[in-house]
Amino acid sequence: MVHRRKFIQVSAWGSLGLFFNKQAVGSNINEALKGQPVVISTWDAGLEANKAAWEILGKGGRALDAVEKGVMVTEASRNCCVGLGANPDRDGFVTLDACIMDEFSNCGSVAFLERIKHPVSVARKVMEKTPHVMLVGAGAQQFALAEGFPLEEQKLSPEAEASYQEWLLKSEYRPPVINVENKGHGPFAPARLSNGEWNHDTIGMVAMDTKGNLSGSCTTSGAGFKMRGRVGDSPIIGAGLFVDNEVGACTATGQGEDVIRVAGSHSVVELMRQGLPPEAACKKVIERIVKIKKEKAKNIQVGFLALNKKGIAGAYAIHPGFKYALKNGQQEILMEAKSYFAE
C-alpha cells in the first residue's frame, strides 16, 4: 500500500520556513520545532482558527484559552459548517456539540445544544462552573442562558437552507459516507461554501503553550440531516477529544459513531503513552476501526490528529483527503494526513 503525505500550503518566513518549504516533509518539520508552542487543528478551517489561537499562544498565554478562542472563529463563521451556519438535522434544526479539556484533566461538554453561537464556551463554563462534565439539550441551553449567552435566532444560513431544501427532495438518510471532496455526499460530506471552497462540519484543536501544557477543544454541528437527538463523538471526552498533560492530546473527525466505538482519542493518547509517535498511534486506532468495520470501512472517513508532549504532531485517516493545519512561531501550514486507503 502506497502512503502519501502532502504538504499543501505554506505561509512561512525566515530561513527555517524556506527549508521546510523545500523539504515538504511533515515529520522533519515537527522534529525541528519540538518543544515550542504549537497549535494544530482539523481541516482547512483550521488555518484561520490557528491564527486566533496563536494570538494567545504567541504571547505566552495558556493553551486552554488558545483552543477556546481558536475554534470560536470557526463557530462564528455563518457560512461555515461548524456553528449555527451549519446544516440542520432531519427536522430542520441546527444542533451543536462541543467539548474542551485542559492540562489538569478538567473537562466540560455540551451536546444537542440549540441556538447558542459558541458551544465551546458553554462547554468551558460547564467545566469551570458546575460539578459536572456534560450537559445536553434543553438543560445545556438553560445553563447557557443563565450564564449570559444570548439566544440566537432559529434561522438556517442561506447555504444550509439551500442544502436542506435539496435534501428534503429525497429525504434520504445514509449515514456511511466518505468525508472527502468529490467522493460522496450526505451527513459527513463537506459542504461547498459561497466562496466556492469546501468545508467540514467539525473542528478539533489541540495546543501546547510555552509552559509545555496541553489543552484541546472540539466543536461540531455533527452530521448534516442527522436523526433528531443524534450526538456524535465530538462532545464525548475520550472519543472526539482527549488530553493527558503527561503524554499528549488527540482529537478526531469523521464518522463519530466509529470514533466512539474505539474510544478513539483516548486510545490514541494511550498508545502514545506506550511510546508510539503521534502518527503511528493515530494509525493503530484507524487500523482498529478498519478491522471492525471490514468492507464498510471503504465508505467511512475517520481522521485522528494528535500532539505529544514534545510538541510533535501526527495524523492518520481511513481515506485520503484529511487535512490538518499547524501553526507555531515559524510557520503555518496545511498538511494532508497519510491514510489507510491511500490513493
Q: Which residues bind ligand SD4 (CB under 6 A)?
A: 179, 188, 200-202, 220, 222-223, 232-234, 253-256
Helices marked H in 136-277 — which ranges? 137-146, 158-170, 256-261, 264-273
Which of 42, 74, 202, 219 is catalytic? The answer is: 202
Yes or no: say if 226 and 187 are a contact pair by the CB < 8 Å rule. Answer: yes
- Shortest approach of ligand SD4 to residue 50 CB, angstroms? 17
* Known catalytic residue at 202: yes
Of 51, 290, 42, the C-alpha closest to 190 is 42
Measured from the CB atom, the residue of 141 and 220 that comes closer to ligand SD4 is: 220
- Computed on alpha carbons and rounded to an integer, the radius of gyration of the chain in Å comes to 18
- Shortest approach of ligand SD4 to residue 223 CB, angstroms? 5
Residue 254 to residue 326: CA distance in whole angstroms: 19
Measured from the CB atom, the residue of 29 and 107 that comes closer to ligand SD4 is: 107
Sign of the C-alpha dihedral, residues 285, 287, 291, 295?
positive
- Shortest approach of ligand SD4 to residue 160 CB, angstroms? 15
Measured from the CB atom, the residue of 117 and 200 that comes closer to ligand SD4 is: 200
Measured from the CB atom, the residue of 68 and 201 that comes closer to ligand SD4 is: 201
- Shortest approach of ligand SD4 to residue 60 CB, angstroms? 31
- Beginning with the edge strand found earlier in the chain, give each strand of the sheet holding 134-136 in spatial order: 6-12, 331-336, 323-328, 38-42, 202-208, 214-220, 96-101, 107-113, 134-136
Q: Give me the active site residues, please.
A: 202
